[in-house]
Amino acid sequence: MMLMPMVSPYFPMPAGVILHGAWVKGHNSTAAGSPRGFTITDFPAVASGNDRCIVTIVCGDHNSGARTLGLARFNGVDGVVYGTQYAARSTTGYLAAAHWLDGQIPTSAGSYGVQYYSSNILDVGAIVLYLSGIDQTTPLENFVSEIYTSLSVDSVCPVSVLDAAGKTLLSTIFLFNGPDFTPGNIPPSNLTYVGDADMPRTSQIGTATYVAGGYTLSVADDNEQYDWTLDCGSAPSIARTAAICVNPA
């Protein structure tokens, strides 16, 4: 009789990266201010000690002047803003990433606020992922972004990431245009699509903002490209794509 190997309960196999929640949300205003943010109403219960991590890519739009993300808060707790930042529309606003580690994250299910602090921002759009099995020393790396102008209603706007194999990845597209802009997108085929959020403008202050985002829990190749394809009623003035890698534990 062949004996089957037994796995000791004292030496469990690594669980790998686990996704507990993914959200794409936005907040818009016709008056500049800070903070900007939103509430996640369906945050799940996950026990501590599982190398948990919340990761976000956020775009803060303003119609005049470059900005930086000075502070990001989840449930009132300060996160770590990733060092690399970009302008949202090449000269205005900001595009940034931030994270919270296991000891900073609630273990109970509930509704929790996410706030982004920067001077004189009109809109924010963001993707937020809640994960476990993430490196608690260096959770984020390889933040990249591309900006596109002279767009058509169906332009392809890629973003590429190097040294990404085996890592978790978030990717987003942000679109900017006037108040009567009708946005839309066809997401990259190599991402799991989360959704989108449209922040339409109700006055001529600034521009309408649109965000869409997705993820992959384990990138297949070191050099991976994500092609965001526009599917708009009218062409936006600017598209900004972004991606960031999340390191497994």
* 186: its two tokens: 């066809």
Integer angstrom CA distances of residue 221 from 172, 198, 215: 19, 32, 15
One-letter amino acid of 202: T
Q: What is the pLDDT along the chain (249 residues), one digit of tens a residue?
A: 333 333 333 333 335 999 999 999 999 877 788 899 999 999 999 999 999 999 999 999 887 888 999 999 999 999 999 999 999 999 999 999 999 999 999 999 999 999 999 988 888 999 999 999 999 999 999 999 999 999 999 999 999 999 999 999 999 999 998 656 788 999 999 999 999 998 876 554 556 789 999 999 999 999 999 999 999 988 899 999 999 999 999
Looking at residue 179, its pLDDT comes to 59
Distance in angstroms between the alpha carbons of the first and the last residue of the chain = 39
Which uninterrupted H or E stretch holds 169? strand 168-177
Give yes or no for a contact between 211 and 173, defined as CB atoms under 8 angstroms apart: yes
- DSSP E strands, 28-166: 36-43, 53-61, 71-74, 77-78, 80-81, 94-101, 110-117, 123-132, 140-148, 156-161
CB-neighbour burial class of residue 2 (10 A; exposed 0-12, middle 13-18, buried 19+): exposed
Looking at residue 11, its pLDDT comes to 33
Secondary structure letter of residue 14 according to DSSP: P
Give yes or no for a contact between 224 and 193, defined as CB atoms under 8 angstroms apart: no
Where do runs of H (alpha helix) occur along the chain? none
Q: Is the dihedral of CA 199, 160, 149, 61 positive or negative?
A: positive
Give yes or no for a contact between 78 and 116, defined as CB atoms under 8 angstroms apart: no
Looking at residue 120, its pLDDT comes to 84
Integer angstrom CA distances of residue 91 from 65, 152, 211: 6, 22, 19
One-letter amino acid of 138: T
Quick one: which of 32, 29, 26 has its CA closest to 56?
Answer: 26
In the chain, domain spans: 18-246
Q: How far apart are CA 128 and CA 243, in angstroms?
A: 13
Q: How far apart are CA 121 and CA 67, in angstroms?
A: 8
Looking at residue 74, its pLDDT comes to 98
Strands 53-61 and 36-43, by their bridges, are unpaired
Give yes or no for a contact between 174 and 125, defined as CB atoms under 8 angstroms apart: yes
